[in-house]
Structure 1
Amino acid sequence: MEDLRAGPSGSWVPKESSLERKVSDISLCDSDDDCCGENDPKENGDDGFIPSPLVPLKEHLERDKEDESLRKWKEKLLGHIDDNENCQIEPEVTFLTIGIVSDSCPEFLTSLPVERNHSNVLFTLKEGSNYRLKLTFRVKYNIVSGLTYSNAIWKGGIQVDQSKGMLGTFAPQQEPYIHMLEKETTPSGVMARGTYMAKLKFEDDDRRCHFELDYAFEIKKHC
């Protein structure tokens, strides 16, 4: 995890410029506008960023088609192209499951979207333990390029951690992708125990938001 100051007994402590808003209970965004934040200046291009134009898969294959080795590599990467789906240019990324793989607790897995009647605490972790988030997702229609994630964590309404990472570039395919995020370590000590709120978000290199999840987890002395 990044940008953290070590606290007493190895606990997470708020950064000096912490966010002060409190994340709500577990919920999934209901629309792309909910995910991407239509009032976010970055998403509206106010910072001068202009997304690159999307190119249909057939055009990807036709480019450099005189290069036999490159053409074969593209066909292997992109696979079969369904003419009925070619009218859909923008990639569709659907997240199917989220899980936790830990060195001290049983593996946890749940389907997405999270059921509305699910307990407020999605999973429990042991203090001072290593864990990784495990996700399965499917890509359709087009290549999703530079898929990244950010995971912000709050306790008592104060942000205590922020982690970011790169998943990569993925071509559309029938079988879902399985991806493990970077290893994280929970803090330890009495002050570290309790319930945390978190927000997990996935965007591509054109700043398109494909998935966002607010969730809660608990750190205990024992699982």
Structure 2
Amino acid sequence: MSLAIGAASSSKNMGFDERKDGGEENRISGSSKGIPPPSPTPTEEALREGEKFNRQMSEASLYGTEEEDDEESKIELGPQCTLKEQIEKDQGDESLRRWKEQLLGRVDLESVGETLEADVKILSLYIISPGRPEIVLTIPEDGKPKGPWFTLKEGSHYSLKVAFKVCNNIVSGLKYTNTVWKTGLKVDSTKEMLGTFSPQAEPYTHEMPEETTPSGMFARGSYSARTKFVDDDNKCYLEINYTFDIRKEWPST
């Protein structure tokens, strides 16, 4: 639920060294009595390298200029299988077997059955600020809280904590995204990877990194936002569209 206004950018320089064959060229010229040396014929390997380099440069140019969209690019994953099938696969690979035991050690296979789809239930959301009681955010069934969902003090430190439960199957690449607007302009966009989780009876908890609300006369006021929890398949488990306020002081409790 990042409210800080700012952006970070990164750039990657690409280059290659020119090959110098001057010594070989001079030796050929000296023995040919003034006859210009023939142009070297490119080998198939050189042609492949050139094609690969051009393709890399083309892809880098595309990725460098492509604007971020609200929708995540869908990742192509392998075919889905049940939890029992995943455990039975690759029995001969010792490293995979140990990894599966570590990830799935607490899973009751009899309770998960043969379900392909993971189910993630977001149970609770909390705003934590040093020296203040936790703010418990009630999640409405329609995903649209009535009125401002919460109020934060300007310049205050806070973090968001989420409790969730995973059932039926492994959820891969669960992540949190949050986009904030003020007077119709996007002022912040946040993504936080929660991770990959196996089903278990006890809920998981995850606390986001601490952030600071903006301060000053122009920072105060009402904001609108959209929070989503999605996985690697872009399956959305919760979407909340809401408003919140930043004020000079915390609201009275």
Q: CA RMSD in A?
A: 3.1
Superposed CA deviations along residues 105-126 of structure 1, whole A, max 9, x for unmatched, are 4310134336889651111111
Aligned counterpart, 1:212: 239
Contact 2:123 2:163 in 1 (8 A): yes
CA distance in 2, matches of 1:102, 1:110: 14
Q: Which of residues 59, 76, 83 is equivalent to 2:85? A: 59
Per-residue deviation, 1:208: 1.7
Q: Which of residues 201, 204, 207 is equivalent to 1:174? A: 201
Superposed CA deviations along residues 2-32 of structure 1, whole A, max 9, x for unmatched, are 8726xxxxxxxxxxx999xxxxxxxxxxxxx
CA distance in 2, matches of 1:116, 1:57: 30
Contact 1:57 1:81 in 2 (8 A): no
- State yes or no: 1:4 paired with 2:6: yes
Aligned counterpart, 1:190: 217
CA distance in 2, matches of 1:18, 1:63: 37
> Greater relative contact order (Cα 8 A, min sep 6): structure 1 or 2?
1
Per-residue deviation, 1:73: 4.7
Per-residue deviation, 1:191: 1.0
Superposed CA deviations along residues 172-204 of structure 1, whole A, max 9, x for unmatched, are 111111111222221100111111111011211
Contact 1:105 1:125 in 2 (8 A): no
Give the TM-score normalised by structure 1.
0.72
Moved more, 184-193 or 104-113: 104-113
- State yes or no: 1:103 paired with 2:130: yes
Aligned counterpart, 2:226: 199
Look up the equivalent residue of 2:182 and give its one-letter code.
Answer: K
- State yes or no: 1:130 paired with 2:132: no
Q: What are structure 2's unaligned runs of at least 5 residues?
A: 8-66
Superposed CA deviations along residues 197-222 of structure 1, whole A, max 9, x for unmatched, are 11011211222222211122111111
Structure with greater proportional helix content: 2
Cα gap change, 1:124 to 1:3, in 2 (>3 Å): closer
Give the TM-score normalised by structure 2.
0.64
CA distance in 2, matches of 1:120, 1:85: 39
- How does 1:133-152 map onto structure 2 within 5 Å? 133-152=160-179
Structure with greater proportional strand content: 1
CA distance in 2, matches of 1:63, 1:115: 40
Q: What are structure 1's unaligned runs of at least 5 residues?
A: 6-16, 20-36
Aligned counterpart, 1:12: none
CA distance in 2, matches of 1:208, 1:129: 33
Contact 1:91 1:139 in 2 (8 A): yes
Contact 2:174 2:229 in 1 (8 A): yes
Per-residue deviation, 1:75: 3.4
- State yes or no: 1:91 paired with 2:123: no
Per-residue deviation, 1:103: 2.7
CA distance in 2, matches of 1:125, 1:169: 31
Report how many residues are paired.
188
Superposed CA deviations along residues 42-61 of structure 1, whole A, max 9, x for unmatched, are 68x7xxx5343212111221
CA distance in 1, matches of 2:154, 2:210: 15
Aligned counterpart, 2:107: 80
Identity %: 44
